[in-house]
Chains A and B, each alone.
Chain A
């Protein structure tokens, strides 16, 4: 059974940093790209970032470019999202998602349960 378990969320002040982690089991991690998708309270879904199987390809939505960094550790079957210079508008549930291909960013056949990030003073 595929499992994605996020951690690292919480309450943080504007301008501060937070690092999200996603531990995975149940599939061959280094054969798939991984992504982060967020959902602000009561709002829709927004793709944040993706990383290819070998970390050579990374992409971000414009609103987080230069502030967020995605990475992965294939030995630990984990993907991370380093979030710096956090803004109030980054407040959301952050979902770790498994892509269906290794090299690009397509669609997501498995999702974690999400981790809540609240940016507030």
Chain B
């Protein structure tokens, strides 16, 4: 099973800041098969990024993904009030599909 480790666990930031979230895999992820999701309280997750760097339909350009092999990053260039949420990475190179433990981005 591929273990995904997200860091940090929690980020306390103010709107307008730049955010960098990390996701490290226990083994190489084939073809950069990594996705990112955003989840707000009481809501289902929402797909943000797939293929490590491709934005899903309707996702604002302030969200970007990068990385390869074992290390991946989600960046929010300018944090908006609606971006405070929990972010999860997920690998789909191997079954069982696995998620990281999540990073909570909270208002400072």
Contacts and interface: CB of A to CB of B under 8 A. Distances in A.
A binds B: yes
B101 interface: yes
A59 interface: yes
B49 to A, nearest CB: 9
Name the interface size band of chain B: 20 to 34
Q: Tell which of A35, A47, A50, A112 has the most Cβ of chain B within 10 Å.
A: A47
Nearest to A100: B50
Which range holds the interface residue count of chain A?
A: 20 to 34
A109 interface: yes
A112 B97 contact: no
A38 to B, nearest CB: 11
Given A44-B88, A45-B88, A45-B90, A108 B47 contact: yes
Nearest to B92: A106
Contacts of A100: 50
Given A44-B102, A45-B90, A106-B92, A111 B97 contact: no
A107 B95 contact: no
Contacts of B1: 62
A61 interface: yes
17 contacts: A35-B97, A44-B99, A45-B45, A45-B88, A45-B102, A47-B96, A47-B98, A62-B96, A95-B45, A105-B97, A106-B50, A107-B47, A107-B50, A108-B35, A108-B45, A108-B47, A111-B46
